[in-house]
Structure 1
Amino acid sequence: MTTNQSHESLQSPPSHQSQSILLAGAGGVLGRHITRALTEAGHKVTGLGRGRRNDLQADLMNRDALLRAVEGHHFDTVIHAATALSKPPMRHRDMHATNALRTDGTAHLIEAARATGARRFLAESMVFGYGYGDHGDHVITEADPFGPRGRSPELEGHIAAMRVKERLTFGATDMAGIALRFGLFYGPGGTDGLLPMLRKRQLPVPADHGRVLPWIELTDAARAVVAAVERERPGQAYNIADRTPMGFGAHVRCVAEEFGLPRPMTVPLWLMRPMSYAHTVMSTTLRVSTARAERELGWSPAHPTVHDGLAAMRAAEGLT
């Protein structure tokens, strides 16, 4: 899939200009960070979601209700950061509702964005769209194929959903489409859920044996969204991750160490197979380059390593 389509007629407002932004998924962990970062940057954010705390209440899967919710509103930018996940997915079926949000939900939200006169559509994407499995030492850039066919029906379901979400984003030629391909999230509101399990030693992890994954601290992820809103180049995708990939087991052990919790038990990777999706993630080796985001968006991670991000989180929570 190509992401360098021409949108020359769609001019972005200057970076200092306040924008009216509709954020789907504002009530989620990432959404709350995005809302705060955009607001602090001087933009007006309207939250969209099913919960009562949202400014506009609607389910992305209900097209008619969504169009009714946005009727009469105008937005400069619409952001799709909605997820159906309330906790880390363990089995493949845990991803099915989020996959639907990436396909049907995206199509509905683009229609709603068009109805509000939006000229920019920004999609939360994921580095796993490059494919699950062992990518070896190759450092993946945005020029690498995105959305290759999955090696099993379940993996194809996950990858196809990410492929379709980006295809719809870039196919909306009357809007400037941008996709941010995030690494795995951690940080305030995300890592907190691991702490009780680590405290009770209820979170065994495998040895990584050289496997690494891209990670991104949540406030850094939100800063990337602000950068994309203010400085995007239409039709582009950007990898967003920190500078130091880390294995899943090493990440969890780092959390335990940083927060003074018992070291998690190390188990063979095959023992994780009943948790089919988690096993797939833990089996993956993936490195990405963020050079394009740094060059074109002027973004770089404030927390270049997981150690840095966790130390900042611990300090902010007064746990030093």
Structure 2
Amino acid sequence: MKTIIVTGGAGFIGSALVRHLVRNTANRVVNIDRLTYAGNLESLRSIAGSSRHHFEQQDIRDRAAMATIFEKYRPDAIMHLAAESHVDRSIDNSAEFMTTNIMGTHTLLEVARQYWQKLSGERRSAFRFHHISTDEVYGDLGDTPGGFQETTPYAPSSPYAASKAGSDHLVRAWHRTYGLPVVLTNCSNNYGPCHFPEKLIPLTILNALEGKLLPVYGQGNQIRDWLFVEDHARALMQVVEKGRVGETYNIGGNNEKRNIEVVHGICDILEDIAPIRPAGVERFRELITHVNDRPGHDTRYAIDARKIRRELGWTPQETFESGLLKTVQWYIANGQWCQSAQSGKYNRERLGLIEEHS
């Protein structure tokens, strides 16, 4: 049994990874999350009783707290997902993205380096710092054929993407300068259960079920490569266990879709399985409304995932169609999770921060 620290483990991808680790491995998982708006402990309800899951509510920018956690649990690896991740929020307020994504990563690298340097023998050689990043660091593919490769130059367009690019560069520098054994992954757009409701797919599902308008930027012609989050979790485990030190692995679902196609697909699924049709709505596609495009909106992302398939044998199990159906079904069946995610009430109750009379 190994001990793995997962940062951001109450978030969308992080909670999927934590659930995968607890259900499918014998490892002990130390879950660090600050429980900001996007962190939801209810995403971990299904593994709440596991003795191998340990939750620490801490900020990755707090060096003393991180050092204490490393000394307490003595990890064999850290899988770093904690990040501010919403492009629109980064445009409105970039400062939080710089401090969390860049300075938070710097803090973790320094704590991990000092911890690793004290290890010896097999534990030292086996230790890994796995940094999980995004395809947005590569910028806009536009009409360029193919997808982003691990050697594609960085050209971030948004404050969010720039902050993730900066953290990627830090991780590589700590490997080159200090020898810290790192692996990096850059993934395409994730979707699936427990996705915070401000993102495209969950927002579309929930708005449609309530009969609200479905906002689409511009004409919805932006192209993204979609990856089911549980396939991503499996890929991350392959990389931390088998990836070559110092290497980067791109992870994608090989599912390029225009945003308007994604919205149409959700509407069509809801035509078949929605439990009720909102008042006044004859067809869900009628709810689609086109809004002004976001500043600097990249037109196309796509991942070339041949390296991880070739070297580590990973392939996605879900097609976009099967994954989207599972996602819509999950949101229909989990209204309580959606309400608690939007309000943050579950985290406040779980941590005892709501007075008994409220």
TM-score bracket, shorter-length normalisation: 0.7 to 0.9
| Whole-angstrom distance in 2 between the partners of 1:216 and 1:94 | 27
Which residue number corresponds to residue 77 of structure 1? 77
The 3-state SS of whatever aligns with 1:70 is: helix
By how many angstroms is 1:98 displaced? 3.4
Which of these residues, 122, 126, 132, is aligned with residue 134 of structure 2? 126
Which residue number corresponds to residue 212 of structure 1? 223
| Whole-angstrom distance in 1 between the partners of 2:242 and 2:16 | 19
Deviation per CA, 1:179-235, whole angstroms, max 9, x where unpaired? 1111111111124443221232322224344x4211111111111111111111111
Deviation per CA, 1:16-67, whole angstroms, max 9, x where unpaired? xx32100110111111100111221222111012249662232112223332
Deviation per CA, 1:97-156, whole angstroms, max 9, x where unpaired? 2343221010111122234437211111111111136253342211221x2365xxxx3x
CA distance change for structure 1 residues 291 and 62 in 2, over 3 Å: closer, same or farther? same
> Any stretches of 5+ residues in structure 1 without a counterpart?
1-17
**Superposed CA RMSD:** 2.7
* Range with greater deviation from structure 2 (31-40 or 195-204): 195-204
CA distance change for structure 1 residues 149 and 84 in 2, over 3 Å: closer, same or farther? closer
Residue identity in the other structure for 1:244 = N
Residue identity in the other structure for 2:190 = F
> Any stretches of 5+ residues in structure 2 without a counterpart?
42-53, 117-123, 196-200, 275-283, 334-358
Check the 8 A contact 1:212/1:285 in 2, yes or no.
yes
Which residue number corresponds to residue 252 of structure 2? 241
| Whole-angstrom distance in 2 between the partners of 1:193 and 1:208 | 15
Which of these residues, 269, 289, 292, is aligned with residue 304 of structure 2? 289
Check the 8 A contact 1:207/1:267 in 2, yes or no.
no
State, as a whole percentage, how many aligned pairs show the same letter: 21
For 1:268-287, what aligned pairs fall within 5 Å after superposition? 271-273=291-293, 275-276=294-295, 280-281=296-297, 283-287=298-302
TM-score normalised according to structure 1 size: 0.79
Which residue number corresponds to residue 9 of structure 1? none
Q: Which has the larger radius of gyration?
A: 2
**Would you say 1:189 and 2:194 are equivalent positions?**
yes
Check the 8 A contact 1:71/1:115 in 2, yes or no.
no
**Would you say 1:26 and 2:9 are equivalent positions?**
yes
| Whole-angstrom distance in 1 between the partners of 2:262 and 2:251 | 18
By how many angstroms is 1:302 displaced? 0.9
**Would you say 1:178 and 2:183 are equivalent positions?**
yes
Which residue number corresponds to residue 10 of structure 1? none
Which of these residues, 223, 232, 236, is aligned with residue 243 of structure 2? 232
* Range with greater deviation from structure 2 (239-248 or 56-65): 56-65
| Whole-angstrom distance in 1 between the partners of 2:258 and 2:331 | 25
Check the 8 A contact 2:208/2:287 in 1, yes or no.
no
TM-score normalised according to structure 2 size: 0.71
Which residue number corresponds to residue 341 of structure 2? none
For 1:1-320, what aligned pairs fall within 5 Å after superposition? 18-39=1-22, 40-51=24-35, 55-84=55-84, 89=88, 92-93=91-92, 96-117=95-116, 119-132=127-140, 134-145=142-153, 147-148=154-155, 150=157, 155=158, 157-173=159-175, 174-190=179-195, 191-199=201-209, 200-205=211-216, 206-209=218-221, 211-260=222-271, 262-263=284-285, 265-267=287-289, 271-273=291-293, 275-276=294-295, 280-281=296-297, 283-305=298-320, 307-314=321-328
